Structure 1
Amino acid sequence: MNKKVYSTLNEKLYTEVLDNGLTVFILPKREFHKTYGLFSTNYGSIDNEFAYQGEKRKKVPDGIAHFLEHKMFEKKEGDIFQEFGRLGASANAFTSFTKTSYLFSATDHIKDNLLTLLDFVQAPYFTPETVEKEKGIIAQEIQMYQDNPDWQLFFGLLQNLYPKHPLHIDIAGTVNSIDKITADDLYECYQTFYHPSNMILFVVGNIDPQETMSWVKNNQAEKNFTDIREIYRYFPQETTFDINSYSSKTMSVSRPKATLGVRGFQENLPKGDKAQLRFRTAMNLLLQLLLGNTSKNYLRLYQEGIIDDSFGFDFSLERSFHMADFSSDTGRPEEFLQEIEDILLNFANEEEVNEENLERLKKKMLGKYFQSLNSLEFIANQFTQDLFGTLTLFDLPEIIRSIQLQDCLDAGNYLLKKEAMARFCLKPEKEV
């Protein structure tokens, strides 16, 4: 077991890759009462076309990763939530575009809860009858999100930015796509993506690292797994010519909602884990300089009534995609979209993009980071999201401190291009 000491954070992270390929991270936090365990697979909603080396490509229905997450909790002997409840733990799971994670939190019976987590995720149970039953439940969930204006706003933008890529498809799929899912489909995706070599276990809390690692090793040694095989994932090739620059739809909203997105292309990303983490950090800092809630641009747009408290933006960098998006409720959607585009395209000439403001924002970012480390829930949920190869959540302070103004300018020059932008609006339905 390897130990990495982050002296400035007073953290010790223990890591080991087991014989079956499972990567285990253990972070002891003796001053906390609660312990979190998170078991995550590098498999999400966009992974709908794949193959092993030398084998035929397989295409599965959209929404299958999310469907699989739901079904993992149901076993022949009953619902696994009841077992966690009996052990005094709360459990949950979530599916994103690129990952599926299962987690528990508890203050005692940590060994039993951890082994329950490992055992239920590594023992799939699907039947045609239970799969058919689940379709109705997930169809209701899909309908709920179809009625959510903010969700529809985001996916409307994704449809414009990524018209061919599966990123534009709802994580839960569609009612039609999930109706095609079979128990055999679920087993095939499970066997492909839930192999230990494609998974990470992270445990944080009031635990002894040596003892905890022995629990995991003994548990895994009792199970049989297939040989480790490389998974190939396939995504459509797209260029800026595929981007749909604008679309809109009507919905039952009181005010218009507008969003602008900027798409990056994977082949142009900086190479290497550290370079990509630096790029993501520099891009986030640049966007804060341009449109953060203390910037002159934000204050001007707010005072002029072009944006309100709903305004927000985000930059995502994940496996297979990266993008920035900006949205707000606004009575002047066209003006909002043009203002945001002008600010982004002229970023290099903005007076607030300077060394002094950058240093202030770096201190603010570091302050929020250190404050967040007081939450085990934040650490547990964020750890797998912030894994860049060998770099972890705890390498971020060094990255933040190292960012220079030129890094932000380089990030902007790479991403903020008009041909890579798209717009989407939700407009109120006309009253009859």
Structure 2
Amino acid sequence: MEKKQYEQLNETIYTETLSNGLSVTLLPKNEFHKTYGLFTTKYGSIDNQFIPRDSDQLTRVPDGIAHFLEHKMFEKEDGDVFNLFGKLGASANAFTSFTQTSYLFSSTTNVDENIGTLLDFVQEPYFTKETVDKEKGIIAQEIQMYEDEPDWRLFFGLLGNMYPKHPLHIDIAGTVDSIMDITAELLHESYNTFYHPSNMNLFVVGKMDPEEMIQLIKTNQAKKNFSEATEIERYFPEETTADIKPFDSIKMAVKRPKSIVGIKGVGRAPEGKGALVYKTTMDLLLALLVGPTSDNYLRLYDTGIIDDSFSYDFSLERTFYFADIGGDTKEPEAFSNVIKEILLTAKVSPELNQAHLVLVKKRMIGQVLQSLNSLEYIASHYSQQNYGEATLFDLVPIIDSITLNQIKVLAEEFMQEKYMSVFHILPKEDSKT
């Protein structure tokens, strides 16, 4: 195993790539009683066009199949995997995002058995026509529930404006119509393509002996046969700036309007450690412009244009990156106009000054250090972020190293009107659109 120490944070990470291609990362935290295990495949909702393993033909699978597959993995011929984890004193869960699917457990006892259960159930699929058809009704209800959720609709409305061709704009669970086309055969095809160990990683954090843990994992994997690793070929449609829809809105049964402003990243997304530096620089820029320490935030809050629902975020993942700023507001048009003005004048904004940057950095570093005391935070974030050799534990020195000039350069490059889009949700009774 390769060992990497972070002396400033008193942390040591162990990594090894097994002979079958599985990437394993171990983070001992022996001062804790709990252990988390996360088993992740780089397969998410956007991966709906690809060349299946043992084929040379591009295929288009139904939207929502990655999420559907996640649901079905817990059901086996002899029962439900949740019950098995429960008997071992563990809680289990799973989630599907745009770019990956993760399965996890947490436990204070029977850690070895739970690791084995996690690896075994994910690597032993079981699908039948009967169980697949039964699941369609369950997931259809979940989709309909999210269709009635205003904040969910606001976010995906913005994605629809910015990414009209890219599958990012499609709900992670798909649509009621699309999931009806999912079959056991298609699930097996997707599973065989994306659930190969070479496309997966296992992350374990908590109380453990790393040497014993890696041996346990190796022994488990040595008992299984896998085909030879091959590179996965995915397909994504080409998009240009001209495809961005500047504005759209819908009416819903909400008491207060909602507005969101998005800025689409154009060009190839940064990769490796450069992606972590880029994301951190953008996080600092947004915090300076509209974070709680900014004059902009106080002004908008005092005038009632924003309230406690106000939030901002920057997402950077495989094939896409974008910023979004939104919330409830009594004046959606005023909200989106003033946010756009703040972003478009970012480079010359008085908010971008050295004293403010020092304050925002201290605040951000404090939040990072506090979060690193939580196994839940580490477990949920570590495997989600793909920054090459860089990790969460590189974040503090990266924050400290970013200069005001770097932030201003990024503001000039990224904050352009042609990259922006606005989406509103208006109350049905008040809407004039």
Fold match (TM-score > 0.5): yes
What amino acid is aligned across from residue 216 of structure 1 in structure 2? I
> 1:173-192: CA deviations, max 9, x gaps?
00000000000010000000
Note the C-alpha offset of 1:386.
2.6
Partner SS, residue 305 of structure 2: coil
Match of 2:394 in 1: 395
> 1:104-130: CA deviations, max 9, x gaps?
000010000000000000000000010
Rounded Cα–Cα distance in structure 1 between residues aligned with 2:266 and 2:234? 17
Partner SS, residue 337 of structure 2: helix
> 1:183-211: CA deviations, max 9, x gaps?
00100000000000000100011100000
What amino acid is aligned across from residue 177 of structure 1 in structure 2? S
Match of 2:219 in 1: 218
After the TM superposition, which residues 26-45 of structure 1 pair with which residues of structure 2 at under 5 Å, given as runs? 26-45=26-45
After the TM superposition, which residues 31-430 of structure 1 pair with which residues of structure 2 at under 5 Å, given as runs? 31-51=31-51, 55-267=56-268, 269-270=269-270, 272-430=271-429
What amino acid is aligned across from residue 131 of structure 1 in structure 2? V
Partner SS, residue 231 of structure 1: coil
Note the C-alpha offset of 1:427.
0.6
Rounded Cα–Cα distance in structure 2 between residues aligned with 1:9 and 1:386? 19
Partner SS, residue 233 of structure 2: strand
Note the C-alpha offset of 1:329.
0.7
Match of 2:15 in 1: 15
Structure 1: where are the runs of 5+ without partners?
A: none
The answer on whether the counterparts of 1:245 and 1:421 sit within 8 Å (CA) in structure 2 is: yes
What amino acid is aligned across from residue 337 of structure 1 in structure 2? S
What amino acid is aligned across from residue 291 of structure 1 in structure 2? V
What amino acid is aligned across from residue 44 of structure 1 in structure 2? G
Note the C-alpha offset of 1:169.
0.4
- After TM superposition, the structure 1 stretch with the greater mean CA deviation from structure 2, 383-392 or 247-256, is 383-392
The answer on whether the counterparts of 2:347 and 2:409 sit within 8 Å (CA) in structure 1 is: no
Aligned length: 430
Instruction: List structure 1 segments (4+ residues) > 3 angstroms apart after TM superposition.
Output: none
What amino acid is aligned across from residue 224 of structure 2 in structure 1? K
Rounded Cα–Cα distance in structure 1 between residues aligned with 2:388 and 2:286? 25
Note the C-alpha offset of 1:274.
2.0
The answer on whether the counterparts of 2:293 and 2:360 sit within 8 Å (CA) in structure 1 is: no
Note the C-alpha offset of 1:414.
2.1
Rounded Cα–Cα distance in structure 2 between residues aligned with 1:113 and 1:388? 28
The answer on whether the counterparts of 1:257 and 1:327 sit within 8 Å (CA) in structure 2 is: yes
Note the C-alpha offset of 1:265.
1.9
Partner SS, residue 98 of structure 2: coil
What amino acid is aligned across from residue 38 of structure 1 in structure 2? L
Note the C-alpha offset of 1:266.
3.4
Note the C-alpha offset of 1:91.
0.2
- After TM superposition, the structure 1 stretch with the greater mean CA deviation from structure 2, 384-393 or 200-209, is 384-393
The answer on whether the counterparts of 2:52 and 2:189 sit within 8 Å (CA) in structure 1 is: no
Partner SS, residue 227 of structure 2: coil
What amino acid is aligned across from residue 324 of structure 1 in structure 2? A
Rounded Cα–Cα distance in structure 2 between residues aligned with 1:385 and 1:130? 29
Rounded Cα–Cα distance in structure 2 between residues aligned with 1:266 and 1:194? 29
Note the C-alpha offset of 1:394.
1.2
Rounded Cα–Cα distance in structure 1 between residues aligned with 2:412 and 2:50? 33
What amino acid is aligned across from residue 35 of structure 2 in structure 1? T
The answer on whether the counterparts of 2:272 and 2:386 sit within 8 Å (CA) in structure 1 is: no
Structure 1 residues 431 and 403: CA distance shift in structure 2, 3 A: closer
What amino acid is aligned across from residue 260 of structure 1 in structure 2? V
The answer on whether the counterparts of 1:387 and 1:393 sit within 8 Å (CA) in structure 2 is: no
Note the C-alpha offset of 1:52.
5.7
Note the C-alpha offset of 1:431.
7.6
- After TM superposition, the structure 1 stretch with the greater mean CA deviation from structure 2, 176-185 or 349-358, is 349-358
Partner SS, residue 408 of structure 2: helix
Rounded Cα–Cα distance in structure 2 between residues aligned with 1:235 and 1:414? 24
What amino acid is aligned across from residue 14 of structure 1 in structure 2? Y
Note the C-alpha offset of 1:132.
0.3
Partner SS, residue 232 of structure 1: coil
The answer on whether the counterparts of 1:41 and 1:100 sit within 8 Å (CA) in structure 2 is: yes
Note the C-alpha offset of 1:315.
0.4
Note the C-alpha offset of 1:415.
1.4
The answer on whether the counterparts of 1:52 and 1:230 sit within 8 Å (CA) in structure 2 is: no
**RMSD, matched Cα:** 1.2
What amino acid is aligned across from residue 428 of structure 1 in structure 2? P
Partner SS, residue 414 of structure 1: helix
Rounded Cα–Cα distance in structure 2 between residues aligned with 1:124 and 1:276? 34
The answer on whether the counterparts of 1:279 and 1:407 sit within 8 Å (CA) in structure 2 is: no
Rounded Cα–Cα distance in structure 1 between residues aligned with 2:226 and 2:34? 31
Rounded Cα–Cα distance in structure 1 between residues aligned with 2:156 and 2:278? 25
What amino acid is aligned across from residue 80 of structure 1 in structure 2? V
The answer on whether the counterparts of 1:266 and 1:322 sit within 8 Å (CA) in structure 2 is: no
Rounded Cα–Cα distance in structure 2 between residues aligned with 1:74 and 1:83? 11
Rounded Cα–Cα distance in structure 2 between residues aligned with 1:431 and 1:332? 12
The answer on whether the counterparts of 1:273 and 1:391 sit within 8 Å (CA) in structure 2 is: yes
